[in-house]
Amino acid sequence: MTSTYTIGVDLGGTNIKGGVCDAAHQLLSQHTLPTEAPGGFEHVLGRMAQLVDELVERSGMPRDAFDAIGVGAPGPLSHARGIIHAAPNLPGFVDAPLRDRFSERTGLRVALENDANAAAYGEFVAGAASDARSMVMLTLGTGVGGGVVLDGELWRGPFDNAGEVGHMIIEPGGRPCPCGQRGCLERYASANAVAERLAEAAAGGEVCALGSKVARGEAFDARDVLAARADGDALARRIWDETCRYLALCMVNLQHLLNPEVIVLAGGLINAGDVLLSGVRSHFQTESWKIAPDHPDIRLATLGTNAGTIGAAALAHREA
């Protein structure tokens, strides 16, 4: 018999978030500790173990009431081998055998998953796509991440690297990406790219309410673009509309290749709410065919920053 409770851990460069989930994927309690990433792999392992101890202690349940720990972590990593190959924000995590070492340390079985996959799986089991069997999630943050769930299973791909939706090319020969490609979705539809594209257009001479900030080299972000858009600024409106169109173009390709029932938008940019959702839906209607009734339902994520914790716990519970 497997236990009813699972711990999810969302390992980031700044904070480690943890939560206790039940078998119905409800988040019963949570706790966060600073990662103290500069301390290196062993130190961070200790921090993670401390977080687990606190979660167990606060739960009032014995340790054997927990069946496993799921860890969502930045990558590239190998789910099958439980190893983080490299993580830019976690110094010393080079081919780090996190799964086995963390399991030794906590006495619990551990599953290691890519953080974008864990978040997608969270929205699949307990969030915006909990009524679907197949979904793709696009996480619009600093970059654009993603996750693919097909018939209830996370699709990782033979190279453990599937779901990199942010590096699908939606503008051939377009904006260069640090990944080495040109025209990646990430270079148009991440929160950073939205601000960057506006700054470039303003620097190129287009009139914009944010023009003086651009001229002074002041930092601003996608929220400022959205605020300018709400105030009727024409350039901000155009940049935002193009962002929605690029997202829709990517979704048309997801539709034809995979036919998912649901596409979920997540990440900081979804704070834009209906301005994002209705913009993307409208462009999807324009760009996609109408000859087959296979349009996915486009939705906003509902779990916020808890998606990764819940998804990691659910994946670990599933493999228990």
Interface residues with a second copy (CB under 8 A) are: 76, 132-134, 136, 146, 148, 150, 155-165, 167-172, 177, 179-182, 245-246, 249, 252-254, 256-261, 287-294
Considering beta carbons, is residue 51 or 148 the nearer one to a second copy? 148
Q: Of 155 and 220, which CB lies nearer to a second copy in the complex structure?
A: 155
* H or E, element range at 113: strand 109-114
User: What is the 8-class DSSP label of residue 271?
Assistant: G
Angle at 254 between CA 75 and CA 263, to 5 degrees: 80
Nearer to a second copy, 162 or 320 (CB): 162
Nearer of residues 43 and 182 to a second copy, judged by Cβ = 182
State the nearest-atom distance from the C-beta of 279 to a second copy, in Å.
16
Structure tokens at 274: 């209906």
Which residue reads 């780090």 in tokens? 96
What token pair was written down for 279? Answer: 């913009």
Q: Please identify, using beta-carbon distances, which residue of 183 and 211 lies nearer to a second copy.
A: 183
| Integer Cα distance of 118 and 10 in angstroms | 9
The residue (of 149 and 236) whose beta carbon lies closer to a second copy is 149
Distances (CA, A) of 223 to 79, 194, 210: 35, 9, 12
| Cβ 255 to a second copy shortest distance, Å | 8
Which tokens go with 225? 């673009």
- Shortest spacing between CB 111 and a second copy, in angstroms: 18
Shortest gap between Cβ of 12 and a second copy (angstroms)? 21
Please enumerate in sequence order all residues whose Cβ is within 8 A of that of 228, keeping only pairs 6 or more positions apart, or say none: 198, 208, 209, 210, 235, 236
What residue ranges in 35-102 does DSSP mark as E strands? 66-73, 77-78, 83-84
Q: How far is the CB of 145 from a second copy (least distance, A)?
A: 11
Q: How far is the CB of 56 from a second copy (least distance, A)?
A: 36
Residue 41 CB, nearest distance to a second copy (Å)?
22
Handedness of CA 59, 64, 68, 74 (dihedral sign): positive
Nearer to a second copy, 26 or 289 (CB): 289
CA dist 144 and 21 (Å) reads: 27
Which position has the token pair 């010393």? Answer: 92
